[in-house]
Chain A
Amino acid sequence: MAGSDQINVCESKRVVPLNQWILMSNFKLAYNLLRRPDGTFNRHLAEFLDRKVPANVNPVDGVFSFDIIIDRTINLLSRVYRPANDTEPDATLSTTFSQLKKPVSTSEVVPVIIFFHGGSFAHSSANSAIYDILCRRLVTLCKAVVVSVNYRRAPENPYPSAYDDGWTALEWVNSRPWLQSKDSKAHIYLAGDSSGGNIVHQVALRAVKSGIKVLGNILLNPMFGGQTRTESEKRLDTKYFVTIQDRDWYWKAFLPEGEDRDHPACNPFGPRGITLEGIKFPKSLVVVAGLDLIQDWQLAYADGLKKAGQDVKLLYLDKATIGFYLLPNNDHFHTVMNEIRSFVGPLPSTDCE
């Protein structure tokens, strides 16, 4: 085993910048400590290790944030990120409650991106540093408001808690007068990475059934799976920060007791999946990393959408590993950011950071 691990280490180190390798390896090893073989999770240590940042109503690089409870009964928190108003001369003055909820615009379209952070349904929070940074980038990139949902996590809160929370967030966003812009409606996109991408799909499904309009879905390395072992899983197992074993653990923690990975939450177009033919599903941007071991499932997802006649753009990044979008020092990052910007509304091209 030791020999092949050395090879694995060399391989993954070759394809990502060193600081990125350190970040992903740190997560990998820390997460190994947190998953117990009996299926329970060391939540105390997880919260201790997670690097969090507070919200900040004073604009930093043109973005400010504040936390808001969107459902008191379950303490569902979201962090709202907004662009600082350039026309306000004293942009650094203490922002008041009333300004936090100032209507975004009456004349222009201001997209609202509901963001679901990753973490395989078990890790991270809306106030995790890595996701706070990502959401701030999305604000600047898309001139959007971003609402990052602090959904309930497995194993303490398995299926369907995360989906319920996602749905609550969508309803909440849709009903906030101050998130409406042109034509007095909210222009809503759903975005998420890893488990967040999975949540995007499920929430979009519910939206279609309920008549809330979602303009587009952005899925970054979405977490899907299935009972069989695909070729990519076998080929890439243990090589780039992720293992089949840990994927299995997270699915077991999230899915209902006794279910297997062909449950439609895990495998939406599998043997127990439903077709989306004839449904007005939002357009989708699906980003797949070429070194992600679950890519076969992600490609199958994109394929399933396409076969059902849905509008889907697949962005396949050959040499990308998981988490490439967390640090901006690689080409994949910039490629994806450009795609996201084009996807979210017809804005003039500007250079993204």
Chain B
Amino acid sequence: MGPYDSSISAPAGSSSTSSSACSSSTKPRQPPDQMDHLLAGAGYKVRSNDLHQVAERLEHLETAMVKSSPVEISELGHDAVHYNPTDLASWVDSLLTELNTNPPAAVGVPTDLPDLHPFPADINMYSNNPPPLHGEFSQQVVTPLEEDVSIRLVHVLMTCAEAVQRGDLSLASLLIDDLQALLGRVNSVCGIGKVGSFFVDALSRRIVNSSQNGVVQDDLSAYENEMLYHHYYEACPYLKFAHFTANQAILEAFDGQDCVHVIDFNLMQGLQWPALIQALALRPGGPPLLRLTGIGPPSPDGRDSLREIGLKLAELARSVNVRFAFRGVAASRLEDVKPWMLQVSPKEAVAVNSIMQLHKLLGPGQPIDVVLDWIHDLNPKIVMVVEQESNHNQSVFLDRFTEALYYYSTMFDSLDACTAQPVKSLAELYIQREICNVVCCEGSARVERHELLATWRDRLTNAGFAPLHLGSNAFKQARMLLTLFSAEGYSVEENEGCLTLGWHSRPLIAASAWQAVPEPSATMGQINHP
């Protein structure tokens, strides 16, 4: 890496739920739902009133384990799928069920499903790159001088951002000159030099344009957008992880369903779907009828790029005997999509797939509420949400700037380590556009309004969705894939039923799955009723 020998993890805006004990401002007086706060600090949620019961379950589990053979215990570790270890009671119960003792009525125990082959190397329609080799670390020596310069660089960046926040643009401009000089002294090929230059660039744009109403980013052509996206997809594992985790969850949600309909909020080049099509083809009992509705921007030049992708996917589906239908929905913004355009039939099982799209709905007017409403009304079996794990939606510019600096520094750090593409300029440009949007833009132009998983949890719960937990099978496969496709240093973590992918110990994207809770007026039934 670069001049500063640190991979620094960012402020957690709302701290991970496992340490919720520390951040509660008052200690309530033991209402029935009160969690034991000491266990909460250790990462486990157990109600104070349930402690005795949980202890009893643990005793039963121990007895059951003692009675089992080492082979059975090994199998428990191997084949059983574990979910959300934070919910200790459920975890213990699921193990007891596996060991075939008599548990109380446990929440639906998941069945084993065919594992997904995520990146079909043989059915790779889009990538012409050879499979990436496991990267080696290039050792970069950090001289004390370089470390000083990089520390100073960050310090001046922050001072400049503060000046911008205060409206002191003449000072800010002077500081930009300082920053340019500092950038000249720092290794700009990697590390803080590289990401620093993007932030300096974004700040100076903001300063220059603040006389007008914020910066409007130039629109790229659809082709340019796709190019950047594709390079980002190849250069680092974030999108691959998102696709893979989503597909695994969708596959499980579609178990037993004959007619399924996937709604992709951003089709792009459809990179996610060959793997799902293949997995459905291989599923025991045969594939369902698969409909895919892909949402994407309209093509300006008479091409119908959505349809083109659809045709390619259809060809693939035909080759593996999956009955397939595609529909493209052209919309420049997600909020312009109306549910009737999706033509969802009541007989089909619906999956909504949103990879880094929902945050775009958090701007003025909060179209997110309307969209979540109609998603809910589609009664989806699963809503897959993958989002950047950071709070880039703070109204105070300085706070937003600081979070972004931490977040994208870490992301660039991770990019440096992947050597699949030695020259990563297009992938970096993809990220740079995000940075620019977060830093320079305001109002409806600012679409990169990332929020933390904890915030998304609240939002989705309030909108009438309940979590579907991602389990140890998805976790394990994600980890195995990372060793195949990426450098060491990436980490997958389990967070109360969600999975995050990050660089070292800093989560950078979070994947969660949801299902619609029926309206209270509807017929009663369990949440996991198929």
Contacts and interface: CB of A to CB of B under 8 A. Distances in A.
Contacts of B492: 47
Contacts of A66: 6, 8-9
A185 to B, nearest CB: 17
A130 B42 contact: yes
A19 B36 contact: yes
Given A48-B475, A67-B504, A97-B8, A328 B155 contact: no
A60 interface: yes
A33 B41 CA distance: 24
Contacts of A58: 11-12
A69 interface: yes
B83 to A, nearest CB: 10
B252 interface: no
Contacts of A305: none
A51 B66 contact: no
Interface of B is mostly: helix
A51 B42 contact: yes
Contacts of B489: 75
Chain A CB within 10 Å — which of B23, B77, B95, B480 has the most? B77
Nearest to B140: A72
Contacts of B18: 51-53, 129
A68 B7 CA distance: 5
B23 A60 contact: yes
B145 interface: no
B55 interface: yes
Interface string B281-298: 000000000000000000
Interface string B50-81: 01101100110111011100100110111000
A108 interface: no
Contacts of B44: 22-23, 26, 51
A68 B86 contact: no
A153 interface: no
B31 to A, nearest CB: 18
B85 A48 contact: yes
B42 A129 contact: yes
Given A33-B76, A56-B12, A133 B42 contact: yes
B19 A132 contact: yes
A72 B5 contact: yes
Nearest to B85: A49
Nearest to A150: B505
Nearest to B492: A47
Interface in A61-119: 61, 66-70, 72-73, 75, 77, 79, 94-98, 100-101
A250 to B, nearest CB: 16
Contact of B10 (A42, A49, A57): A57
A132 B493 CA distance: 16
Interface in A7-31: 9, 13, 18-23, 25-26, 28-30
A52 B479 contact: no
A13 B139 CA distance: 51
B58 A25 contact: yes
Contacts of A44: 472, 475-476, 479-480
Nearest to B154: A97
Interface in B105-163: 137, 139-140, 150-152, 154-155, 158
Contact of B152 (A36, A94, A98): A98
Given A53-B43, A60-B15, A129-B42, A48 B476 contact: yes
Interface in B446-462: none
Contacts of A48: 82, 85, 472, 475-476, 494
A146 to B, nearest CB: 16
B398 interface: yes
A130 B21 CA distance: 13
A326 B63 contact: no
A68 B151 CA distance: 14
Nearest to B54: A22
A67 B9 contact: yes
A14 to B, nearest CB: 12
Given A44-B475, A57-B10, A72-B140, A26 B82 contact: no
Interface residues of B, number: 76
A48 B402 CA distance: 30
Contacts of A97: 4, 6, 8, 150-151, 154-155
A278 interface: no
B46 interface: yes
Nearest to B61: A29
Contacts of A51: 18, 42-44, 85-86
Contacts of A130: 42-43
Interface string B89-106: 000100100000000000
A68 B42 contact: no
Interface string B186-225: 0000000000000000000000000000000000000000
Contacts of B480: 44
Contact of B139 (A33, A53, A72): A72
Chain B CB within 10 Å — which of A20, A36, A97, A98 has the most? A97
Interface in A132-149: 132-133
Nearest to A131: B42
B402 A94 contact: yes
A29 B505 contact: no
Contacts of B54: 22
Given A45-B77, A45-B476, A98-B151, A1 B46 contact: no
B8 A5 contact: no
Nearest to B141: A72
A150 B505 CA distance: 10
B155 A96 contact: yes
Given A5-B66, A57-B11, A23 B39 contact: yes
Contact of B82 (A45, A126, A329): A45
A98 B155 contact: yes
Interface in A248-278: none
Contact of A37 (B38, B58, B74): B74
A22 B55 CA distance: 6
A95 B11 CA distance: 8
A67 B38 contact: no
A125 to B, nearest CB: 8
B506 interface: yes
B387 interface: no
A100 B9 CA distance: 11
Contacts of B70: 37
22 contacts: A2-B63, A19-B36, A22-B58, A28-B62, A29-B62, A44-B475, A44-B479, A45-B472, A51-B85, A52-B18, A52-B43, A54-B16, A54-B507, A56-B15, A58-B11, A61-B22, A67-B7, A69-B1, A69-B6, A73-B139, A77-B505, A130-B42
10 tightest A-B contacts by CB?
A51-B43, A94-B402, A33-B77, A129-B43, A97-B154, A44-B476, A98-B155, A55-B9, A68-B6, A48-B472
Given A30-B85, A57-B11, A97-B151, 19 more contacts: A22-B58, A23-B44, A32-B73, A36-B74, A48-B472, A48-B475, A53-B43, A55-B9, A67-B506, A69-B5, A72-B137, A79-B505, A94-B403, A96-B154, A97-B6, A98-B151, A129-B43, A326-B42, A327-B42
